[in-house]
């Protein structure tokens, strides 16, 4: 509880100065960490080999983590003290105004906040109304009750109502100040460093709790300045307008917000997410449930790629989160400086798990590497910014429709932060991700900045003609391997005919796994037998609309390897989701399908003339 005298004498400037001091420590730690990582360690790796160098890199890594920890914790202290100073200003101001009013009326204010007033008013029965002491109420109901009593039995002393109002203002100010003080005190008490030199996952779990406590106390004051509801262009303008010290503070206190905000430059998002990554990993490690451990495995894989993955193209972490099945956005090449930028949406079964870093991310890496061989100013991104369906959910377009606005926001952010006057941007959808891209094109204005669209392994995109995707049919490119059965799923009406009403869910009933391979029981449609019929007279429909590889759809089909043939499949094995998996998974992989990966790279690099075409179905 804050006393009247404490609130009156509170020197808010001292909190502000203390906040600046912690900010200075945080900034120094931030600068030191960057120097260790980008100057000392980088030079050591480039110039030295052997066990001694490896040992030095490990020890310097520990030093870097310590600087990171100091930057974050001191930044949280800075935010706490700054927020406390700002929030305490309002109740202190109300108290000082109330005290000034009491002094004006010659009332006496006691240490407990009660207000005594003198005798005053017209005499009643020869006696002037006596003075008394008013006790304040900090609640609406308490004030209402006192007001009702005053109306029923009004005090003839005119000072009574004035004193009561002043006492109520004092009580309200003290109560608010006490609540603010308690909240910030709880947050600051958490900010204690454990002894030792090693910053572990459990340490970061504690930091995650620290951040949550500080955010709970300071959000109303500090986070309001972040234009979370603005457009990507407005967010970029906000970030560009900050001082270096302000940016460092936001990276310490709100790395999760800054790192996932479309419109913030890629370098800043990468830095924020690298700062947030250990906090999120610590949080998930403490939770212990299976879903959290799955996401933790995915984040550990990303972290390992950051530490020991290829240096070229450089990796940028543009988004992470534990919402739904997990979020991860990774770029290879800087999407702000590159002329050619592609953003690939993965499909069915994709989630933040151990396979994400070794499989899904590699597709973006291979695309970026291939495109940079054609034009070094190229970057490729894998965008897991939505919940891709995991199994039978593929029968619905709801996940794609929910993901489409988020994808468009991300693309708008890329357009806002790119340094080139007219960047070449490509939207890529694989498997169910092609439906998400298709739905994104149907949003008002289409996909921001998209010049070309690539669809691979597609079960349909929700429209029947390439020209309906908004970029002109000559800019829509399709890869469909001959033995990729996902591209030959029967249409929804056809599925019902084949199954004889047994349930369309069986068409894709078996889990697809991370590569998005359908297991289903619709044997004829899955294997391409008898794709035409009463339900699909033209024989060119797939599950989510017309086959993008068909003549009727009108896109540019590029050549791919056919993939392993699906032969000698006995009826029970048609449920096995591994049958024919490779044909659906190889489009980006130069080791498995050099033709397809080269074609994708050529389109991404803005050289579609180098693409090898294939006849449409």
pTM: 0.82
Domain membership of residue 508 (yes or no) is no
In this structure, is residue 287 part of a structural domain? no
In a domain, 137, yes or no: yes
DSSP string spanning 121-185?
SS-BTTBPPPPEEE----SHHHHHHHHHHHHHS--S-HHHHHHHHHHHHHHHHHHHHHHHHHHHH
- Residue linked to tokens 């970057």: 379
Please tell me which residue, 494 or 583, carries the higher pLDDT value: 583
- The DSSP code for 43 is H
- Residue 186 is assigned to a structural domain of this protein: yes
Of the ranges 327-336, 393-402, 491-500, the best mean pLDDT one: 327-336
Nearest to 83 by CA among 180, 175, 8: 180
88 or 311, higher pLDDT: 88
Instruction: Give the pLDDT of residue 386.
Output: 97
Q: How confident is the model at residue 220 (pLDDT cuts 50, 70, 90)?
A: low
Query: Mean pLDDT over residues 537-563, rounded?
Result: 86
Separation between Cα atoms, residue 466 and residue 444, nearest integer Å: 17
Confirm whether 31 is domain-assigned.
yes
Nearest to 274 by CA among 252, 294, 246, 295: 252
Residue 254, domain member (yes or no): no
Respond yes or no on whether the N-terminal peptide bond of residue 290 is cis (omega within 30° of 0): no
What percent of the chain clears pLDDT 70, i.e. is strictly above it?
85
- Over residues 210-239, mean pLDDT: 86
Look at the chain and report how many structural domains it folds into: 1
What mean pLDDT, rounded, does the chain reach?
Answer: 85
Q: How many C-beta neighbours within 10 Å does residue 306 have? A: 17
Domain that holds residue 188: 1-122+133-225
Note the pLDDT of residue 202.
79
Question: Who wins on pLDDT, 196 or 242?
Answer: 242
Q: Check whether 568 has a pLDDT greater than 60.
A: no
Q: Between residues 513 and 151, which one has the greater pLDDT?
A: 151
What 322-326 contacts at long range (C-beta under 8 Å, 24+ apart), as own/partner pairs, is 322/280, 322/283, 322/284, 322/292, 322/295, 322/352, 324/386, 324/387, 325/291, 325/295, 325/351, 325/352, 325/387, 325/388, 325/390, 326/294, 326/295, 326/298, 326/351, 326/352, 326/353, 326/356, 326/384
| The two three-digit tokens of residue 408, written as one number | 């468009």
pLDDT in tens, 360-418: 999 999 999 999 999 999 999 999 999 999 875 556 899 999 999 999 999 999 999 99
Among 147-161, 398-412, 466-480, the minimum mean pLDDT is found in 147-161
Q: How sure is the predictor about 491, in pLDDT bands with cuts at 50, 70 and 90?
A: low
Encode pLDDT of 269-321 as tens digits. 999 999 999 999 999 998 989 999 999 999 999 999 998 888 899 999 999 99
Q: What is the pLDDT of residue 40?
A: 87
pLDDT of residue 502: 32
User: For 558, which DSSP code?
Assistant: B
Residue 545 clears pLDDT 90, i.e. is over it: no
- pLDDT for residue 474: 97
Q: Is residue 494 part of a domain?
A: no
Tokens of 214: 């500080």
Domain-located, residue 262: no
Cβ–Cβ < 8 Å for 428, 603: no
Provide the pLDDT confidence category of residue 580 given band limits of 50, 70 and 90: low
pLDDT of residue 524: 39
């Amino acid at each position: 509880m804050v006393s009247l005298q404490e609130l009156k004498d509170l020197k808010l400037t001292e909190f502000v100065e203390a906040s600046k001091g912690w900010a200075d420590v945080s900034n120094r730690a931030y600068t030191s960490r960057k120097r260790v990582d980008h100057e000392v360690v980088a030079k050591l790796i480039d110039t030295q080999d052997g066990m001694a160098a490896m040992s030095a890199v490990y020890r310097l890594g520990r030093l870097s983590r310590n600087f990171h920890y100091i930057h974050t914790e001191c930044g949280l202290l800075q935010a706490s003290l700054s927020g406390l100073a700002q929030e305490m200003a309002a109740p202190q101001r109300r108290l000082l105004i109330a005290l000034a009013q009491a002094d004006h009326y010659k009332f006496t204010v006691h240490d407990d906040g009660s207000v005594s007033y003198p005798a005053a008013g017209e005499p009643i029965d020869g006696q002037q109304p006596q003075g008394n002491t008013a006790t304040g109420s900090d609640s609406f109901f308490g004030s209402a009750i006192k007001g009702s009593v005053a109306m029923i039995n009004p005090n003839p002393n005119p000072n009574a109502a004035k004193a009561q109002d002043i006492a109520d203002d004092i009580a309200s100010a003290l109560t608010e100040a006490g609540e603010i003080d308690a909240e910030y005190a709880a947050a600051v008490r958490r900010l204690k460093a454990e002894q030792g030199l090693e910053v572990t996952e459990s340490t970061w779990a504690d930091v995650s709790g620290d951040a949550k406590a500080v955010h709970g106390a300071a959000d109303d004051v500090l986070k309001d300045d972040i234009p979370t509801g603005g457009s990507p262009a407005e967010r970029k303008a906000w970030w560009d307008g900050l001082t270096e010290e302000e940016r460092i503070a936001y990276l310490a206190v709100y790395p999760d917000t800054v790192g996932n905000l479309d419109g913030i430059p890629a370098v800043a998002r990468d830095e924020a997410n690298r700062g947030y990554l250990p906090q999120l990993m610590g949080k998930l490690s403490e939770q212990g449930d299976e879903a959290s451990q799955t996401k933790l495995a995915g984040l550990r894989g990303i972290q390992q790629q950051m530490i020991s993955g290829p240096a070229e193209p450089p990796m940028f972490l543009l988004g992470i989160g534990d919402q739904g099945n997990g979020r991860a956005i990774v770029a290879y090449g800087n999407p702000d400086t590159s002329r050619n930028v592609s953003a690939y949406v993965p499909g069915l079964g994709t989630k933040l798990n151990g396979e994400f870093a070794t499989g899904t991310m590699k597709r973006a890496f291979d695309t970026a590497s291939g495109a940079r061989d054609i034009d070094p100013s190229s970057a490729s991104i894998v965008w897991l910014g939505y919940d891709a369906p995991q199994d039978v959910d593929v029968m619905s377009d709801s996940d794609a429709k929910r993901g489409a606005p988020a994808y468009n926001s991300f693309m708008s952010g890329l357009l806002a932060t790119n340094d080139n006057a007219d960047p070449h941007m490509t939207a890529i959808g694989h498997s169910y991700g092609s439906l998400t891209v298709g739905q994104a094109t149907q949003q008002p204005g289409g996909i921001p900045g998209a010049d070309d669209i690539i669809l691979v392994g597609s079960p349909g995109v929700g429209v029947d003609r390439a020209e309906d995707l908004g970029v002109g049919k000559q800019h829509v490119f399709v890869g469909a391997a001959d033995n990729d059965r996902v591209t030959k799923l029967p249409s929804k009406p056809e599925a019902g005919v084949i199954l004889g009403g047994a349930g369309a869910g069986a068409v894709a009933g078996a889990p697809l796994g991370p590569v998005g391979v359908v297991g289903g029981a619709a044997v004829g449609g899955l294997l391409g037998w008898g794709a035409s019929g009463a339900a699909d007279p033209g024989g060119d429909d797939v599950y989510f609309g017309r086959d993008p590889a068909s003549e009727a759809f009108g896109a540019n089909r590029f050549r791919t390897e056919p993939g392993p043939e699906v032969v000698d499949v006995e009826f029970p094995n048609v449920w096995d989701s591994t049958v024919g998996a490779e044909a659906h998974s190889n489009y980006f992989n130069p080791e498995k399908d050099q033709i397809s990966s080269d074609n994708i790279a050529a389109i991404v690099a803005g050289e579609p003339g180098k693409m090898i075409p294939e006849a449409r179905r």
